[in-house]
Structure 1
Amino acid sequence: MAKKINSLDALGGFVFSTNKDFELHNNEEQQETPSPSQQKLEAHLDKKNRGGKVATVIKGFVGNDEDLKALSKQLKTLCGVGGSAKDNEIIIQGNFRDKIMDFLVKEGYKVKRVGG
């Protein structure tokens, strides 16, 4: 028995059109990044699923991907290590939580220390 499709979401976002004048409009708008004083970040230490190695994770960033990656680059340069930025989180390799928190506070962010 075949599944019934109740909505276009059931198709996984794929839609076929026979309209030869159809134009795909991407309505996703860039999310505007609030000022640092309006951001409430959390600084975590994490070593789960990392082979026993520690990483500093900054969570709670609100804004577009370009600003997230720019802040991530500043933090990686500050600490002299690698890391990544995705899903509104910044992951920095190593235990640099205090150093990162001091930097973020100087930049105007509100940072909360989470965990031990």
Structure 2
Amino acid sequence: MDLKDQLKDLFPDHQPPKEPKEEKPTVWLQDDPLHCKYEKRRGKPITIIDNYNGAQSDFKQLAKELKKMLGVGGSFKNEQIIIQGDYRKEIMAYLQEKGFNVKRVGG
């Protein structure tokens, strides 16, 4: 007797939750490649992503996803995503997974 059968005996009225459906990937509209830059401001390294030509709300959502994935702070200002730290390699890999063309700008 496995665990599911034991639970059914204890709680006969309980209906197990249905498994969540797999989310469809978000479609991002982008003609030109995104630029991924590295800068130092006040001695601290930052990564900047810009050159996005889609909806601003989608770009804000992308900024939120990047910050959550990397576990770092950042912001969205002047149509740029600013991430604290040098995470160009990780960000470029993530954006390419999402279907973006990404271009590394600068050093």
- Contact 1:38-1:109 within 8 A present in 2 as well: no
Q: Normalising by the residue count of structure 1, what TM-score does the alignment of the two structures yield?
A: 0.64
**What's the CA shift for 1:37?**
5.2
**What's the CA shift for 1:63?**
2.2
**2:86 pairs with 1:68:** no
Give the alignment of 1:89-108 within 5 angstroms: 89-108=80-99
- Contact 1:36-1:110 within 8 A present in 2 as well: no
Residue of structure 2 equivalent to 1:87: 78
Percent of paired sites with the same residue: 44
What SS does structure 2 have at the residue aligned with 1:112?
strand
Q: Which runs of 5+ in 1 are unaligned?
A: 1-33
Q: Which runs of 5+ in 2 are unaligned?
A: 1-26
Candidates 12, 30, 39, aligned match of 1:46: 39
- Flag the structure with higher strand content: 2
Residue of structure 1 equivalent to 2:24: none
Give the alignment of 1:21-36 within 5 angstroms: 35-36=28-29
**What's the CA shift for 1:38?**
3.0
**What's the CA shift for 1:39?**
4.6
- Contact 1:81-1:93 within 8 A present in 2 as well: yes
**What is the root-mean-square deviation in Å for CA atoms of aligned residues?**
1.6
- Contact 2:52-2:59 within 8 A present in 1 as well: yes
Deviating 4+ runs (over 4 angstroms) = none
Distance 2:55 2:29 in 1: 13
The one-character-per-residue Cα deviations of 1:35-85 (angstroms, maximum 9, x if unpaired) are 3453520000011xx210000000101122211110000110111001011
Q: Normalising by the residue count of structure 2, what TM-score does the alignment of the two structures yield?
A: 0.69
**2:91 pairs with 1:114:** no
